[in-house]
Each structure stands twice: as C-alpha cells, then as structure tokens.
Amino acid sequence: MSLLVKLLTQRIALGLLLLFFVSILIFAGTMILPGDVAQQILGQSATPEALANLREELGVNTPPIERYLDWLGGLVTGDLGTALTSGQNINQAIGQRLENTLFLAFWAAVIAVPFAIFLGLLAVRFRERLPDKLISATTLTTISMPEFVIGYILMFIIGVKLAWFPPTAVGYRPEADLLTRLNSVALPIMVLTLVVLAHMMRMTRAAILNVMQSAYIETAELKGLSSFTVIRKHAFPNAISPVVNVVMLNLAYLVVGVVVVEIVFSYPGMGGYLVDHVTKRDIPVVQACGVIFAAIYIGLNMIADIVSILANPRIRHPK
C-alpha cells in the first residue's frame, strides 16, 4: 500500500471513529436533558398512570444501552427513527428541511468563498496600506458582532426601510423558481456571507503572509517580479493547504451554525426543526439532527484533510 493511500485510509477511519464517539456523546447528552416528552404530549393534567402508560408505549423506559444500540443500528441502516410527539418518520420530515438548509448554505458559500480569497489576496498585495487596513477593520467588526445582531440590522434597514428584499423568509417555497427562492432568502444569505467571509478573509491573509516570509519568495522578488505575480504564482499556491482548511471549517459552520440565522428569519430549515423539537423534548429528533450536523462537520473536515494531503507534497513525503 502506497503512503498516499495509507494516509487517506487513516483519515477516513479516524473520521468514522470520531463520528462513533460523537454519537455516544449526543445520545448521552440527550438522555440527561430535563423534561419529559410524555408530559409534553399529555399536558400538566395527565395522571401518573397515563404518563406511565405513554412512556411504556413510546419506549422511553427501556435501558439506555439497549436504546443506544437500537438507535445506532438504525443510523447504520439509514433509519433515523420516529418522532415521539407526532409519530412521523424522521427521515421524511427532515429531508426537505435539510435540503432547505443546504440550499441556504450553498449560496452563501458561492458568494463568500471566492470573495474572501480575493479580499485576502488584495489585503496582502496592499499590506499595511489603506485597502488592507480598511478590509481588516471591516471584517473584524463583522466577526465581533453576533449573527442575530447583523440579521436584525439588515432586516430593519434593507428589509423594512428600503424594502429591497423580504424582511423574513416566511414566504420561502421550495417548489418556486430559483430567482424567487433566492429573493426570499437574500437577507439570510447576506448575514451568513458576512460572518464567514470575515473569518475566511483574515485566515487567508494570515496564511499567505506566513508563506511570504519564505526564502523562495525573497528570491522571486529579487528577480524583479511584481508583487502581484509573486503572490499569484508563488505564495498563494503554497498557502492552499491552510486556506482549504479554513474554507472547509467555515462551510461546516454554514451548515451547522445556521440555526440562529434560520430562527431570526423564520426560515424552514434544520434550525427551526431542531429548536421546535427541543422545546417538545422529542429526543429522537434532537438526536437525529445532532448526528446529521456532526456528520456534515466531520465530513467537511475530513475532506479538508484529504485535500491538504493531495496538495502538500511534504505531507505525502515526510522524509
């Protein structure tokens, strides 16, 4: 087995092992949550006998290890279980919600990733000058503000005062045409773009500046190459590995951290679905959402590791 195949196999195996341990943490964490789904369903006036019968019917009285093994077996076969409060199959209920969340994250990434790399290169090109200082100050401001604050500001100015886009995503319809859908989620996309753009830009700038300290960069400059050519041909290709890691981490955030933005704009995605069932103490739904978010996060980080291995010869050939 070649070293490259061995490294890739190790990364994939570690990712699956990490997902297994995360599933244990998710299951254990949801088990110790306060509240009672039977009480939520029957209300405060329910008798102890009725609560006991419902708990038995829902299967929440079985030993935790047995419940975990049944749940894990369902995950392996692609069965996320059944919602306790509605009796609906979670796979069917979560499918459209996940598609909506991925739609929102995809278009935010399409805008944020190339723009962040461009701004990072621009900041390096005009290092310590006005463009660099202006870009850094703006991105630092957006990083320092919570998503819901940015969301409410854009909602008030762009959605209410200027009326350029709908202030909320209540009217979003998956069956509508692409332009109508994008118009409905324009403000959530803006918020997500501003948040991840700032972090990606600053990390891109830092990665390229780190490479700029190398001896071969100084040699390229002594040859008389322009700053832009040095950055484009020599610095940026060697900074791809850390940049890819930053991009993947932020793409994971777009999917996993979109919960707050979806709640602010009333978007019918995974965030609203998760929060709604947390309040109902619907443990199987919370567990399913947690595993999906964890799988996406671990998967994107695993892709980042694989891309780094393929892009960096020093990792493939450590000697």
Least confident of 28-37, 51-60, 73-82, 141-150: 51-60
32-41, 44-53, 65-74: which is most confident: 65-74
pLDDT, residue 178, reads 81
Task: Tell me the C-alpha distance between 293 and 257, whole Å.
Answer: 9
Domains of the chain by start residue, with CATH: 103-280 (1.10.3720.10)
Q: Report pTM.
A: 0.74
Whole-angstrom CA distances from 226 to 127, 128, 184, 230, 311 are 14, 17, 44, 6, 25
Is the pLDDT at 151 greater than 80? The verdict is yes
Percent of the chain with pLDDT over 90: 0
Strand intervals (E) in the chain = none
Task: Tell me the C-alpha distance between 229 and 224, whole Å.
Answer: 10
pLDDT, residue 136, reads 80
Is the pLDDT at 42 greater than 60? The verdict is no
The confidence band for 58, taking pLDDT boundaries of 50, 70 and 90, is low
Comparing CA positions, the residue from 88, 94, 84, 90 lying closest to residue 41 is 84
pLDDT, residue 45, reads 61
